């Protein structure tokens, strides 16, 4: 790295910095704008009169008396009990990530170690499974879930999300395990371990970086899912995204969009902490893992 840095010309430096600045603005500007706007009233944030109202807060001043208001946050968290949805989301994400990774590491490991042709077809079929649009899958589930009294419960949503997520998890972990030298577990087996013991005692300790990266993507899938959770969770078990959708209103009735904006902003903070904690592992995970595809 240091060698490269020394050799970098001034022109190249400027180019790199420009790319970074442009990208940072593009990636962060909408979010920062939202963060600022979440302390305004709806008439300002989604102002059809003049976008600058969002900066000055004209209506916010007339309606609340000050240029900033915490109404959106108060509405979402206190009046609408967004906290319950947040807890449900934490439960769903926690279980989806854990179960996906447990199933995925076992399957991915086997797929990377078996040399038979069926592993290739297994992976291809998993990929084709992923092509199925989730909307269709969900409409197929509904009659069955209602019949067997499975509809509305968190475990059902968790199972469905785990299943939908399996193809991606398998592909990613399979390529990760391919990069862990076969000698490691094979020498353990020579020493008298069976396959599972070799996996448990030799592979598990070195697999964390790849698992954490895959886990990040599983997490984002469960966390941002709308198609599945909106349709198969009952009201009291609702997760955050369908709850936010409920704030948006419908044709005949006005919603409360600022509740949604405030809710979205406030759930991004824990994500920041999460990325800060895991960023080193994310990078090293992919380093060791997906490199060879």
Partner 1 sequence: MKHKTFFWFVLPSSVAMLLFIFVPIISVVVQSLHVEHEQVIISVENCGPFGCTQATTIDQEATKKLLEAEPLGRFSGFDTYADRNHLAVEDVSQAWDKADNWRDFGSQILNLPFYKAMSFTLAYTFIVTPLVLIVGFIIAVAVNGAVKAIRGPIIFFSLLPMMVTPLVGSLIIFWMVDARGVLGSMLQVLAGDPELSVKASTPLTWVMLMFYGVWHSAPFAFIVYYAGLQTVNQDTLESAMIDGANRWEQIRYVIIPHLLPLTTFIALMQLMDNFRVFEPIVSFAASAHATSLSWSIYNDLGGEVRQLSSAAATSVLTIIGVAILLSPVLIRTWRDFSRK
Partner 2 sequence: MFLKKMTVAAAVVLMSSQAYAACGISEGNVSIIGNEFPAIHTVANAAAACAGDGVEVKSNLTADHKEIHVAGMQGNPAEYSSAIIANSTLVALMNEDVVRPLDDLLAKHGEGIPKSNLITVDGKVMAVAFMANAQTLAYRKDVLAEAGVEVPTTYEEMLAAAKVIRDKGLMENPLGGAYKSGWNLAEEFVNMYIGHGGEFFKPGSAEPAINNEAGIATLEMLKALAEYMNPDYLTHDSNATNAEMEAGNVALMNMWGSRMGNLMDDEGAEEQVYSNIVVGGPLTVAGGSIPASTLWWDGWTVAKNVSDADAEATFLAMKNGISPDILTEETMGQAVWMIEGYTPAPVNDGVFAAIKAGTKPYPMLPYQGLLHTALGNNIADFLLGSESAEQSLADAEAAYVAAAKEKGFL
Q: Which residues contact 165 (CB under 8 A, 6 or more apart)?
A: 96, 100, 218, 221, 222
Of the candidate residues 70, 143, 155, 181, the single one contacting partner 2 (CB under 8 A): 143
Q: Do the beta carbons of residue 72 and residue 259 sit within 8 Å?
A: yes
Which residues within the stretch 35-94 sit at the binding site for partner 2 (CB under 8 A)? Answer: 41-43, 46-49, 59, 62-63, 75, 79-80
Spatial CA neighbour of 97 closest among 251, 274, 230: 274
- Rounded to a whole number of angstroms, the minimum distance from the CB of residue 49 to partner 2 is 4
- Rounded to a whole number of angstroms, the minimum distance from the CB of residue 96 to partner 2 is 21
Distance of CA 49 to the CA centre of its chain: 35
Q: Is 187 in the site for partner 2 (CB under 8 A)?
A: no
Nearest-angstrom CA–CA distance, 222 and 260: 19
Beta carbons within 10 angstroms of residue 127's beta carbon: 13
- Site size for partner 2 (CB under 8 A): 40
Q: Is 253 in the site for partner 2 (CB under 8 A)?
A: yes
Q: Is 154 in the site for partner 2 (CB under 8 A)?
A: no
Name the DSSP class of 38: T
- Rounded to a whole number of angstroms, the minimum distance from the CB of residue 195 to partner 2 is 43
Instruction: Determine if residue 59 is left, alpha or beta; phi over 0 gives left, psi from -120 to 50 gives alpha, anything else beta.
Output: alpha
- Rounded to a whole number of angstroms, the minimum distance from the CB of residue 142 to partner 2 is 4
239 binds, among partner 2, partner 1, none (CB under 5 to 8 A by kind): none
Tell me whether residue 65 or residue 260 sits nearer to partner 1 (CB atom): 260
254 binds, among partner 2, partner 1, none (CB under 5 to 8 A by kind): partner 2
Q: Do the beta carbons of residue 247 and residue 166 sit within 8 Å?
A: no
Of the candidate residues 1, 11, 65, 235, the single one contacting partner 2 (CB under 8 A): 235
Of the candidate residues 254, 272, 276, 292, the single one contacting partner 2 (CB under 8 A): 254
Tell me whether residue 78 or residue 271 sits nearer to partner 1 (CB atom): 271
Nearest-angstrom CA–CA distance, 46 and 54: 8
Q: Do the beta carbons of residue 129 and residue 167 sit within 8 Å?
A: yes
Q: Is 268 in the site for partner 2 (CB under 8 A)?
A: no
**Interface map 110-139 toward partner 2 (x if CB under 8 A):** -----------------------------x
Owner of token pair 């291809």? 124
3-state secondary structure of 233: strand
């Amino acid at each position: 790295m240091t060698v490269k840095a020394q050799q970098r010309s001034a022109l190249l430096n400027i180019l790199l910095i420009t790319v970074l600045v442009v990208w940072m603005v593009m990636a962060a500007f909408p979010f920062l704008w939202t963060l600022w706007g979440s302390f305004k009233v709806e008439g300002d944030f989604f102002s059809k009169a003049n976008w600058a109202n969002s900066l000055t807060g004209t209506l916010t001043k007339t309606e609340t008396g000050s240029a900033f208001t915490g109404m959106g946050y108060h509405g979402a968290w206190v009046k609408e009990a967004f906290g319950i949805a947040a807890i449900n989301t934490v439960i769903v994400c926690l279980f989806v990530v854990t179960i996906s990774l447990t199933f995925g590491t076992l399957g991915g490991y086997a797929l990377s170690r078996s040399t038979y042709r069926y592993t290739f077809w297994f992976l291809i079929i998993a990929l084709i499974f992923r092509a199925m649009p989730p909307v269709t899958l969900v409409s197929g589930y509904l009659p069955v879930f209602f019949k067997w009294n499975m509809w509305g419960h968190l475990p059902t949503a968790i199972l469905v999300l785990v299943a939908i997520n399996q193809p991606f998890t398998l592909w990613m972990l399979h390529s990760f395990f391919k990069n862990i030298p076969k000698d490691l577990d094979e020498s353990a087996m020579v020493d008298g371990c069976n396959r599972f013991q070799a996996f448990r005692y030799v592979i598990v300790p070195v697999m964390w970086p790849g698992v954490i990266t895959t886990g990040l993507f599983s997490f984002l899938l469960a966390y941002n899912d709308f198609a599945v959770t909106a349709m198969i969770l009952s009201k009291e078990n609702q997760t955050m995204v369908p709850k936010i959708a409920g704030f948006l209103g419908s044709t005949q009735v006005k919603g409360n969009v600022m509740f949604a904006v405030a809710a979205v902003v406030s759930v991004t903070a824990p994500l920041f902490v999460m990325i800060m904690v895991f960023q080193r592992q994310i990078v090293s995970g992919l380093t060791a893992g997906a490199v060879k595809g």
